[in-house]
Structure 1
Amino acid sequence: MPQEAYVAALREQLEPRNEGWFAYKTNGVEAQTAAAESLQRLLEMRFEPQDIHLTTGGFTAIAMALKSVANPGDEVIYSLPPWFLYEAMIIEAGLVPVKVRIDAESFDLDLTAIAAAITPRTRVVIVNSPNNPTGRIYPPTLLVKLAALLELASERNGRRIYLLSDEAYNRIVYDGARFHSPAEYYPHTLLAYSYGKTHLAPGQRVGYLALPPTIPDRDALREILSALQVAMGWIYPNALLQYALPALEKFSIDVGQLQRKRDRLYDELTGMGYQLHRPEGSFYLFVHSPMADDEAFTESLATRDVYVLPGALFETPGFFRISLTANEEMVERSLPAFAEAIRLAEGG
């Protein structure tokens, strides 16, 4: 169930305060200001309110970013395992998806593979950190190297390559870690964010696309994005969510509780013989399947009323994804099923 603070933030804005309360809304200044100030605190970068382009969730922020800088036929690089809908959104925009694998050992971006995938038609590279499904937060050392790689490739091609940073989970980090955005290291970055993960309320569609203060041609990009917000179907969040957004910026779901469930599952699963990394953020565990056929293994778990997603859905067979949004009772109930499933898979 949603947090009471979330419900209260929406309830507070239900009563109209003027005759235009539920009229058409574009980018509400108070909402933009709250988001910009929050990003300033998170990333220690001076975002301006007019650089926050409010959207109906992270979906449209990503779609708008692609359409703002790329032309039909341009190529977009992203890493596997990906979020489900990158490919569909790239194709819908008339662009060409180019897929590369991450480093299977560290779950880091494979910079050598990204460099090899770049062509004169490359226009965008998508980075998702904290990553869904791996839970990896890419470290500054990696992001600095990625920035240098994209700068050299842009110079070589005579055409700018943009970085699209999908940061839906940038407030969901564990162990007191400091999240670092690619925008801190590469000026030509577009930052997409969704409040649906922060508050575990994905049906309330609100997010934004942000331009960092370091991005060149900022005025031109502001105009392009403002036009796209209308042309893509009035993709501004509805009035109620915009009014509530300053309050929504003040809290999140209980990250400490998520961390406790992460630790409980990680310790138990590794003790059973499962192979997995301890995620640094997001709310997932990405686990090696003890059977080569990860879909068959997830089906075996389903017969025990434990539901996970096979790695094949992420174009990464041989894994499965667990969501930490399950409650504590569900986590505890799942443990005997995980133990029995791996025993049978290993022929025990």
Structure 2
Amino acid sequence: MFKKPADQSAVKGVIAEGKAKETPISVKTEQGKPEKPKQTIDEYIKAHPISNKNVEKYVRQSFDKGNDESKQFLLNGFANGNVSFERAKSGLSRCFIENGSKAPVLLMSTKNETGEDTGFYSDGGVFYHEGTHAIDYSYNRTGNLPASSTVVLSSNGTLEDSINAGREEAQKMRAIAKQDFYDSIANAKSQDPEYSKLDKDISAKQEELDKLNPYIPQIDEARKQFTSGKISYRELQAKNLEIREKQMKDQPFLKARGELWALQAKQQEANYRVTQQVYVEYGDVSDMFCASTGLAINRMSHDERYFDKKGYKGTEFFAEYVSARSTNPKSLARIKKYFPKQSALAEELFQRIMKGQ
């Protein structure tokens, strides 16, 4: 699913799929030799034409961001599921699976077309994420539950089984991950020259403004007089108005305040830029913690109720894992640190699909 921090006014997409069955299905896979993709991406697109040229360009460019194994994973999985591509009519990229269908459709959107801000994701990450959803749901050809919650792995259970069983351990790791996230934010700010300079400039300008600002103490004094009963509410309003009029005529004060506001605005822009890269590193694990514990480590996650549906914990974890494995090494390192057992199982499932087993 395509997700964004809620405080950046964006929401991740939602899988549209058929009603899930209640009981996982054990699927035996044939242990064949690793296969090279039967097609190149050019050949696959030729066999599955994309009507929108911008989407076709986006698919090609995003596909190229992955490593060789990731490309093979997508091509084998796409061919197995007969996956097609269309332009998303809304601003959200997502995987659409019609009820009972064995042919998922990737509804792709691009920033240029929709204004969708993909800056909180690794380059190509959204495509590999949504592509993994399509492969996950079509791998077994059941048309309902994904492979991540039906294929029995070396753990004698599914990936989703492992996520459910690991809730207690995930709760412990979440505290570590959350502190790591805050430390990474602080470290990124301290090492960014522009942000550090703005921080010093703002402190100096605030001190200058405080020396030029007798108005806050005057307002506080008037409020104390009112609460002690020395003046009426009408008199308090009159005093505040008088103070405000003096303030608005104080040119040195107004100049310093305007300069402070300008610096603060620049710092907000710098903060967005600096923290954006930290979100790229921690966004995947944040959603994984939401799936496994009900609590994210930042605002990059689905609503916890999203994971109440069977199969959703497994498919989101698998998609986050493959996306990170393909395009985001720092995120992959975080996943392996906080979810060692589950990431090993996700890798096992990845290898099966990648090798055409």
Q: When the two structures are superposed, what TM-score results if normalisation uses the length of structure 2? A: 0.24
Q: Greater RCO between the two (CA within 8 Å, min separation 6)?
A: 2
Structure ranking higher in strand proportion: 1
Greater Rg by CA: 2
Structure ranking higher in helix proportion: 2
